[in-house]
Amino acid sequence: MPLSLDAIASSPLDDAADPQNPFERLTRRRVLVIATGLGLLVSVCVLAVSLGTKNLPLTETARILADGLLPKGLLADIPKLDQQIVWNLRMPRIVMAMIAGAGLAVTGVMMQGITRNPLVSPFTIGLSPAAAFGASLAILFGALGVVGFGKYLIVAGAFGSALACAVVVLCIAGLRGVSATTMILAGIGLTYLFSAFTATLQFIATDEELAAIVHWTFGTLNAVTWDEALIAAILLAAALPVFVTDAWAMNAIAAGDETAASLGFDLRRVRLRTAILSVLVTAGIIAFTGVIGFVGLVAPHIARLIIGNDHRFLIPFSMIVGALLLLVADTIGRSLFSPAVIPVGIVVAYVGVPLFVHLILRQRREAYQ
């Protein structure tokens, strides 16, 4: 079993070699891990931009990206077609992959934090099946035939249905107290209910509508636009300061409700605020991307096992892990069988399930205590 950062920090050899406070050494290591993760994310991003139906040399990819950030005319010799491929086709989906991965991961961390249960995530409380039902309903009522606005009607249907599901779950949890068991059981029930609703719509849909419904439920980043990535980024950016501020509260809750209350935290307010913001971010992401599971569940586990339970570091690092996971899955999906593109929801399941099982078999019980 690999040593944790906490075990490394408390090593007697370290204490003899470095007279500084072990907490300071642990903090430096965690900052270094986050910085390394950011560097890896940037490298994978550049590699992802270069791969596709038309592979581009890494040097040319770097020049195209630099040309988009530098004053115009400095790199005028770059072919216009390559610039359009990078900035109009690949970059929007890559940026959305990173935003979606980061958003789903951080909401998973926060929901696991308020419930003290590593099995809770936005996916397990029924948001994704609810969004699939809303999108299917919009498709069945003719959204595909609305020129120019059909896609946004589908997005609105998915977003509204996911919010409705969240309201039901939060109301049930509020009546019984916000607990992991209540939220998971309510989510399981609503998952089956919305799945049944979606199956009913598929049964009565035409061939064209059925194909559109099934394609949406796969989860895909195809045809993502800069506007959609901007909306998802705004939702995440609005919630992130609150998540970061609540990091201390999450650490206190991990020690027990009595401990957190004795430190002055209003647990009901913290949990309600965190749950609402997590739902809004998740609903806003999956409304554009379709059903993408496991990121909100697996990424927090990976981040926790690498960097520890301190939410001040776990929150940013889980976002990096989630962004990396979804970006790698999307790159594999659009490059492995190019020009065919495998939806990212399928690829992330292939990647996520074995990884999740591996983590379950290798995880230490104390990592979640």
Gap between the Cα atoms of 143 and 197, Å rounded? 18
Better pLDDT: 297 or 183: 297
Gap between the Cα atoms of 346 and 67, Å rounded? 34
Look up tokens 């409380």; give the residue.
125
Better pLDDT: 363 or 174: 174
Query: How many whole angstroms from its chain centre is CA 254?
Result: 22
Q: Tokens standing for 28?
A: 């430096």
Reduced to 3 states, what is the DSSP secondary structure of residue 9?
A: helix
* Mean pLDDT in residue range 207-235: 90
Gap between the Cα atoms of 310 and 26, Å rounded? 11
Gap between the Cα atoms of 218 and 342, Å rounded? 9
Gap between the Cα atoms of 66 and 88, Å rounded? 15
* Interacting residues of 208 by C-beta distance below 8 A, sequence separation 6+: 144
From first CA to last CA, the distance across the chain in angstroms is: 18
Gap between the Cα atoms of 302 and 300, Å rounded? 5
**322, HSE (Cβ side, Cα atoms, 13 Å):** 31
Residue 340, sorted as left (phi over 0), alpha (psi -120 to 50) or beta, turns out to be: beta
* Interacting residues of 59 by C-beta distance below 8 A, sequence separation 6+: none
Q: What percent of the chain has pLDDT over 90?
A: 38
The type of residue at 74 is L
Q: Tokens standing for 64?
A: 């195209």
Poorest-confidence range of 40-44, 46-50, 99-103, 347-351?
347-351
* Mean pLDDT in residue range 236-261: 92
The type of residue at 333 is G
CA angle at residue 306 from 302 to 307, to 5 degrees? 115
The type of residue at 188 is I
> What is the pTM for the complete model shown?
0.87
Where residue 72 falls among pLDDT bands split at 50, 70, 90?
low
Look up tokens 């419904």; give the residue.
213
Identify whether the C-beta of residue 49 lies closer than 8 Å to the C-beta of residue 65: yes
Q: For 307-364, write each residue's pLDDT tens digit.
A: 989 999 999 999 999 999 999 999 999 888 878 888 898 898 887 777 767 766 765 5
Q: Which domains does the chain have, with CATH numbers?
A: 92-368 (1.10.3470.10)
pLDDT for position 9:
41
* Interacting residues of 298 by C-beta distance below 8 A, sequence separation 6+: 325, 352, 355, 356, 359
